[in-house]
């Protein structure tokens, strides 16, 4: 079993307080980072093979290095705590149980990218996490960790999945509706309020103090060749022990389901698994011998995304599940790009009538056609995230859909 | 957040459905100081729009067209801009809501754990449909997308709190306890 890093204190009473964080070695990495040049911190994080844990899996150190050299104006650090990917709940735990780890990670990151101001965008529904985190920020100010060259503003969202997409988040932070923006320019060049901005996920930044403390080699050695460290898998659905599991990113999906989460509940037989939040393509029961790192899932045409694992036992109806997923994307489409706005609603309608037993013969092919044509044509990756499930649910379980469509 | 096809973000402006707005849409001097403090935290004060809209909703109960116009004036923004923002987000209510909001998650993990039974039980107990408010103004019922507590499915948000591992019995007791 890998050592727990991010979750090591979760079982302790008052793990969210400054006192407990300090007792367990917290804020020690700050001294070490203070003695390092910004470029050396970026280099260390590059060598650690830390990859973004919010969804896209982009190498973190490399992202930081995109801040234009010689830029003299403000640079912002934005933390994505808008956790909304169905099946994901790890950031909620981090905000509630170890908020100071994020604050320390932010302070170090700010030094690396020369930022004096950070924003933490917390989804509006997360009231308790927001209170906990805000209290921790106050403690950090009183203790003098914040307010000496780096400030943190805690920002509450107001309910919109699309604000988890980094440029939608930036729009929202700027007081606009959460419409994503065309890239390029990427946020590192022109982000929040027009300034170079680094957007990172909560969990990504919570790793940073440990990398500084214990070194890039140590962190890299915990994972696979192309991704270092551990991460927190959120496991739910039909498993015996739903919950969060921190393990090496080299764990396989089979080990995660059977060794960590206690095996399949329901009728006990596995049918399919959503491996990385609902936007990741569905895997069938014979595809679970993959490593749960970025490349492991790319190899099976799915994605690790936010590492939200949802398990389906054999009694789960895939057509019913597709209705739920399709409703979600229809509801959350921001309406900016035509293919996404129109297709998500249309596909939801077709998925629903199929599940209700009055689908048309051509519906399945129409869904696949509409899905494939729209992929890659929109401003952000939201629609690609919808296409993953549309196609995989139907292609991998086509017979189950066909059985519901009246003949003749 | 409501059920139904298509994004509800683009719901056209609705009139106030004949309900009376609170007598005065105006912040106290302390609140106005808080507005200015919030605005000063952002490189452009417009960044404080969501926080101030949260304040407006907490103060006035919902964000009416009057409240939008008032908030717009505090930011030197057009009422149309504020309306566009308010209508985009699911947590802002444009109509008066119940004293309590019960938002039952019906996304994937909650669906697998029987969310539909929970929603059906709420509808039956309260005698209203999803998206409606009881006649006594006590409870607004919603079905919402993943609240990211799927390890405790089925679950719901009741006002500020997450209520976890629901059963019809448990949700019945919860509803009965809301004054
Ligand atoms: C539709 C959509 C939703 C997203 N939601 C989230 C989210 O809730 N949290 C998150 O950290 N990243 C989310 N992302 C990924 C972000 O755009 C971005 O890649 C990430 O925050 C960068 O941080 P990281 O490199 O540390 O992962 C989402 C992306 C898309 C396309
Ligand atoms: S599906 Fe209900 S909380 Fe995630």
Whole-number percent of chain A with pLDDT over 70: 100
Question: Rounded CA gap, A123 and A375, in Å?
Answer: 27
Evaluate if residue B146 carries a pLDDT over 60.
yes
The CB of B148 under 6 Å from ligand 2? The reply is yes
pLDDT of res. A339: 97
Q: Does residue A85 sit at the B interface (CB-CB below 8 Å)?
A: yes
pTM: 0.95
Residue A397's pLDDT band (cuts 50, 70, 90) = very high
Output B24 or A206, whichever has higher pLDDT: A206
Do the Cβ atoms of B28 and B55 come closer than 8 Å? no
Domain A230-313: assigned CATH number: 3.10.20.600
B42 touches chain A (CB under 8 A): yes
- pLDDT in the model for residue B23: 59
Residues 6+ apart with CB under 8 A from A275: A253, A283, A290, A292, A297, A302, A303, A304, A305, A309
Closest partner residue to B46 (CB to CB) among A117, A174, A310 is A174
To the nearest whole angstrom, how far is the Cα of B50 from the nearest Cα of chain A?
A: 6
What are the tens digits of pLDDT across the range A80-120?
999 999 999 999 999 999 999 999 999 999 999 999 999 99
* pLDDT value at B13 more than 50: no
Cα A79 to the chain's mean position, in Å? 12
pLDDT in tens, A263-302: 999 999 999 999 999 999 999 999 999 999 999 999 999 9
pLDDT for the residue numbered B39:
98
Long-range contacts of A220-224 (CB under 8 A, 24+ apart): A220/A47, A220/A48, A220/A49, A222/A2, A222/A3, A222/A5, A222/A248, A222/A249, A223/A49, A223/A248, A223/A249, A223/A250, A223/A293, A224/A249, A224/A250, A224/A291, A224/A293, A224/A295, A224/A296
| E-only strand ranges, A82-150 | 117-122
Residue B14 has pLDDT above 50, yes or no: no
> A194 to chain B nearest CA, in Å?
10
pLDDT for position A407? 87
Average pLDDT of the segment spanning A339-361: 98
**Which of the four pLDDT bands, split at 50, 70 and 90, describes residue A386?**
very high
Q: Which of A173, A197, A167, A194 is nearest to A124 (CA)?
A: A173
CB-CB contact of B99 with B138 (8 Å): yes
Residue A178 pLDDT grade (very low, low, confident, very high; cuts 50, 70, 90): very high
Cβ <8 Å between B47 and A324: no
Q: Looking at domain A18-221, which of 1.10.40.50, 3.40.50.11540, 2.60.120.330, 1.10.10.10 is its CATH number?
A: 3.40.50.11540
Reply yes or no on whether the pLDDT at B6 is more than 90: no
- Nearest CB among A86, A156, A176 relative to B107 is that of A86
Interface test with B, best of A175, A178, A191 (most B CBs within 10 A): A175
Count other C-beta atoms under 10 Å from residue A402's C-beta: 15
Q: Among all residues of chain B, which has the CA nearest to that of A81?
A: B148
- How does the average pLDDT of chain A come out, rounded? 97
Report the alpha-carbon distance of residue A11 to residue A153 in Å, rounded. Answer: 28
Q: Where are the domains of chain A?
A: 18-221, 230-313, 318-402
Q: What is the mean pLDDT of residues B136-155?
A: 98
> For residue A148, what are the contacts with CB-CB under 8 A and spacing of at least 6?
none
- State whether the beta carbon of B113 lies less than 6 angstroms from ligand 2: no
Q: In the structure, what pLDDT confidence band is assigned to residue A344 with cuts at 50, 70 and 90?
A: very high
In the numeric block, the tokens 């790192």 are attached to A293
The confidence score (pLDDT) of residue B5 equals 39
Query: Using CB atoms, which residue from A83, A177, A243 is nearest to B88?
Result: A177
Does the CB atom of residue A53 touch ligand 1 within 6 A? yes
Q: In angstroms, how far is CA A34 from the centroid of its own chain? A: 29
A18-221 and A230-313 share one fold: no
Put simply, the chain A residues between 240 and 269 with a CB less than 8 A from any chain B CB are: 242-244
The fold of the A318-402 domain, in CATH, is de novo design (two linked rop proteins) (1.20.1440)
Instruction: Give the model's confidence band at B4: pLDDT under 50 very low, under 70 low, under 90 confident, else very high.
Output: very low
By the CB < 8 Å criterion, does A328 face chain B? yes
């Amino acid at each position: 079993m890998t050592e727990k890093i991010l979750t090591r204190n979760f079982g302790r009473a008052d793990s969210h307080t400054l006192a407990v964080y300090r007792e367990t070695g917290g804020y020690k990495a700050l001294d070490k980072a203070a003695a390092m040049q910004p470029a050396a911190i970026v280099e260390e994080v590059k060598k650690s093979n830390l990859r973004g844990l919010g969804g896209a899996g982009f190498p973190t150190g490399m992202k930081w290095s995109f801040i234009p050299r010689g830029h003299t104006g403000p640079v912002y650090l934005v933390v994505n705590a808008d956790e909304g990917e169905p099946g994901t709940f790890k950031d909620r735990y981090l905000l509630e149980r170890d908020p100071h780890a994020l604050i320390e990670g932010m302070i170090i990151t700010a030094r690396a990218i020369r930022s004096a101001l950070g924003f933490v965008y917390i989804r509006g529904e997360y009231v308790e996490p927001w209170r906990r985190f805000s209290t921790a920020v106050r403690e950090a100010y009183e203790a003098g960790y914040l307010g000496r060259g780096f400030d943190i503003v805690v920002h509450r969202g107001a309910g919109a999945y699309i604000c988890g997409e980094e440029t939608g988040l930036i729009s929202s932070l700027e007081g606009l509706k959460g419409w994503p923006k065309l890239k390029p320019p990427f946020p590192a060049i022109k982000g929040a309020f027009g300034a170079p901005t680094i957007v990172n996920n909560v969990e990504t930044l919570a790793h940073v103090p440990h990398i500084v403390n214990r070194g890039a080699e140590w962190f890299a050695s915990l994972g696979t060749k192309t991704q270092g460290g551990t991460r927190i898998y959120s496991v739910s659905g039909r498993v015996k022990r739903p919950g969060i599991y921190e393990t090496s990113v080299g764990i396989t999906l089979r080990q995660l389901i059977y060794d960590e989460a206690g095996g399949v509940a329901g009728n006990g037989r596995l049918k399919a698994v959503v491996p990385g939040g609902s936007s990741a393509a569905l895997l069938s029961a014979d595809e679970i011998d993959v490593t749960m790192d970025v490349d492991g899932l790319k190899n099976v045409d799915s994605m690790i995304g936010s590492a939200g694992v949802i398990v389906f036992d054999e009694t789960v109806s895939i057509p019913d599940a597709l209705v739920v997923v399709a409703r979600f994307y229809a509801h959350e489409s921001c309406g900016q790009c035509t293919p996404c706005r129109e297709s998500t609603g249309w596909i939801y309608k077709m998925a629903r009538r199929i599940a209700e037993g009055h689908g048309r013969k051509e519906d399945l092919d129409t869904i696949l056609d509409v899905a494939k044509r729209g992929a890659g044509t929109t401003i952000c990756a939201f629609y690609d995230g919808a296409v993953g499930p549309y196609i995989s649910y139907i292609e991998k379980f086509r017979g189950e859909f066909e059985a519901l469509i009246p003949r003749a | 957040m409501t059920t139904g096809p298509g994004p509800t973000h683009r719901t056209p402006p609705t009139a106030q459905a004949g309900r009376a707005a609170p007598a005065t849409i105006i912040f106290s001097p302390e609140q106005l100081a808080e507005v200015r403090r919030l605005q000063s935290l952002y490189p452009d004060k417009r960044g404080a729009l969501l926080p101030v809209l949260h304040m407006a909703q907490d103060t006035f109960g919902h964000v009416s067209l009057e409240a939008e116009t008032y908030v717009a004036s505090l930011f030197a923004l057009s009422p149309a801009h504020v309306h566009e923002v308010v209508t985009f987000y699911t947590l802002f209510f444009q109509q008066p809501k119940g004293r309590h909001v019960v938002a039952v998650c019906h996304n994937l993990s909650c669906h697998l754990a029987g969310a539909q039974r929970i929603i059906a039980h709420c509808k039956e107990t309260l005698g209203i449909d999803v998206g409606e408010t009881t006649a006594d103004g006590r409870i607004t019922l919603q079905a919402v997308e993943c609240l990211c507590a799927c390890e405790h499915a089925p679950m719901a948000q009741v006002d500020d709190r997450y209520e976890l591992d629901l059963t019809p019995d448990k949700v019945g007791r919860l509803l009965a306890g809301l004054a």
